[in-house]
């Protein structure tokens, strides 16, 4: 893919992404896009993908919040095990400043 360049007029303005999708999407995109030593290449498709992902997470969290708490915790051993793996992997990624790798584990 071609490098972004103001002279080629193929630059996606982060302000546009924030106004179109919100600051959370922009933050998620920046952290998940590339390792810290590389510049972020803003793309509309990347912002859209980040927005869809966050929308799914939000929708899932709303469903969880509406669950019957009397049933919570029953049969969740596999989920709990996977959650602990994710916490470990994300922690290792964050501690090594590999935010994109940490986010990929979520």
| H, E, C per residue of 80-96 | HHHHHHHHHHHHHHHHC
Phi, psi (degrees; rounded to nearest 5) at 43: -135, 145
> Nearest-CA neighbor of 25 among 1, 3, 49?
49
**Residue pLDDT, tens place only, 14-41:** 788 889 999 999 888 888 876 777 777 7
pLDDT confidence of residue 9: 60
Spatial distance between the Cα atoms of 71 and 69, rounded to a whole number of angstroms = 5
Sorted by sequence, the CB contacts under 8 Å of residue 61 that are 6+ apart come out as none
Which of the four CATH numbers 3.40.640.10, 3.40.50.300, 1.10.730.10, 3.50.50.60 does domain 1-66 have? Answer: 1.10.730.10
Spatial distance between the Cα atoms of 41 and 33, rounded to a whole number of angstroms = 8
What is the model's pTM?
A: 0.65
- Per domain, the residue ranges of the chain are 1-66, 69-106
């Amino acid at each position: 893919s071609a490098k972004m360049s103001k002279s080629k007029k193929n630059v996606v303005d982060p302000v546009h992404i924030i106004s179109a999708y919100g600051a959370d999407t922009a933050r998620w995109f920046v952290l998940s896009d590339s390792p810290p030593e590389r510049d972020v290449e803003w793309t509309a498709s990347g912002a859209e993908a980040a927005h869809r992902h966050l929308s799914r997470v939000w929708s899932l969290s709303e469903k969880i919040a509406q669950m019957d708490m009397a049933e919570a915790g029953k049969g969740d051993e596999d989920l709990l095990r996977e959650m602990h793996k994710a916490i470990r992997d994300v922690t290792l990624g964050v501690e090594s400043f590999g935010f994109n790798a940490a986010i990929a584990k979520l």
